[in-house]
Amino acid sequence: MDDVAVVGASAAGLFTAYLLARGGRQVRVFERTTTIGENPRTLIVTSRMADVLGGLADKAIVNRIQRFEMFANGRVATVTLQRPDLVVERSTLIRGLAEHAETAGADIAFGRQLLGVEPNGYGLTLKVGSTNGTGTEDSSARTLVGADGAFSAVARAVGWSQQPTVPLLQAVVRLPADLAPETTRVWFDPIETPYFYWLIPESPTTGVVGLIGEGRRAIRGHLTRFLERHRLEPLEFQAARIPIYQRWIPNHRRIGRGDVYLVGDAAGQVKPTTVGGIVTGFRGALGVAEAILKGRASRELRALRHELTCHMLIRRTLHSFTRADYTRLFDVLDRSTQRLLSAHTRDDVTTVLWRLCLHQPRLLVLGVRALFKRAVHSGS
């Protein structure tokens, strides 16, 4: 019997496995695919990832971003980062984390999918099937960790509700001649998406252009027209479905004498502002590992819950923004406000939010006005 079974060789799942194996637990990871990290996707994360992982992800970093250029309704705002953002290749990140997890002592079983979970006299019995159809097996563990994404089989088996998701679509393109490889561009156009478009350089010559949408057909059309407007030719496409954080999901349940946890996308640990889940998933992994190894509630999970709640409040406000609201927003981003944004990352939004409101009260007025308009519209 294993101490811990982790379902899903995701970034958060593998980091959880690494932490637990390093902490002396016997860990087995079940992954439904036959190879790991087979779907490449370029991501941008804050420097907080390096703080959490140390050097575990160094091989996956393909670029560093020093500057953001933001566009909205004919206005431009620039933020220079004191600590650069990291551009990461997701499949390389996952393969590297798998190597570290195995080196720490975790066992990874490929081609295995979870079919069911039942309590037994000492923990949990997992019914695991081979994805090639060769049969099933029973595996026992005292603790089960679901790290198998937004459509988590663990969550479904134990009774958690399925989370809503949104599509992400991005295209690999050649960088425009006027874009330095250390600069990311972001466009806000609430008529086409309540989120934003991005252009993230992944090398001196190529980058990814993408957006988060609210419908599969609409997102493809919006991206196609955006590429045409900016005269960018897609070389290939990358896509995913990302869970939308609506509220904190209690990520622990007791089943008989066994414990079940969710982590990463399976727990909805995704920033609502940017729909980014890498750093928050790693923080969730730290919290789950702390709870399992120390047998107590995790401070990291409490802090993460608070942070995600602040992100959700900001996202609800931005979802109400019009083009005119973005114009007003850019008008109040003076030099001192930009310096404040430069000094903090998107993974420290609680501190940023309060300091911005104290420094620039008009931002608070703008947010309240947008939320009021949304409430009036919803009630009409």
Q: Is the pTM of this model over 0.75?
A: yes
By the 10 Å C-beta count (0-12 exposed, 13-18 middle, 19+ buried), 372 is classed as exposed
Check pLDDT > 60 for residue 291: yes
Residue 246 has pLDDT above 70, yes or no: yes
The yes-or-no verdict on residue 101 having pLDDT over 50 is yes
Residue 296, pLDDT score: 82
- Taking the C-alpha atoms of residue 230 and residue 152, their distance in angstroms, rounded to an integer, is 38
List CB contacts of 305: < 8 A, sequence separation 6 or more: 248
Q: Please state, for a pLDDT cut of 70, what percent of the chain lies above it.
A: 91
Distance CA 278, CA 221 (A): 27
Q: Provide the pLDDT for residue 374.
A: 46
Q: Is the pLDDT of residue 150 over 80?
A: yes
Average pLDDT, the chain: 89
Angstrom distance (rounded) from CA 120 to CA 138: 12
Separation of alpha carbons 68 and 184, rounded Å = 5
> 17: which 2 tokens?
């496995």
pLDDT of res. 345: 79
- Residues 330-368 have pLDDT tens digits of 887 777 777 777 877 788 777 766 666 655 655 554 554
For residues 61 and 102, give the distance between their C-alpha atoms in angstroms, rounded to a whole number: 21
Q: At what angle do helices 11-22 and 278-294 cross, to 10 degrees?
A: 30
Query: Which pLDDT tens digit goes with each residue over 111-146?
Result: 999 999 999 988 999 999 998 878 899 999 999 999
Q: How far apart are CA 227 and CA 221, in angstroms?
A: 10
- Identify the pLDDT of residue 366: 54
Average pLDDT over residues 282-305: 93
**What mean pLDDT do residues 317-335 have?**
83
Q: Residue 39: what pLDDT?
A: 80
Looking at per-residue pLDDT, the higher value among 374 and 72 belongs to 72
Q: Residue 357: which residues within 8 A CB-CB, separation 6 or more?
A: 363, 364
What is the pLDDT averaged over residues 237-258?
A: 93
Sign of CA dihedral 330, 331, 332, 334: positive
Among 23-37, 150-164, 336-350, the minimum mean pLDDT is found in: 336-350
Cβ(141)–Cβ(3) below 8 Å: yes
Task: For the chain, list the domains and their CATH numbers.
Answer: 2-40+90-164+245-298 (3.50.50.60), 62-88+165-243 (3.30.9.10), 312-379 (no CATH)
Q: Give the residue from 228, 236, 151 showing the smallest Cα distance to 197.
A: 228
Per-residue pLDDT band at 313 (split at 50, 70, 90): confident
Note the pLDDT of residue 52. 94
The CA-based angle 146-97-275, given to 5 degrees, is 60
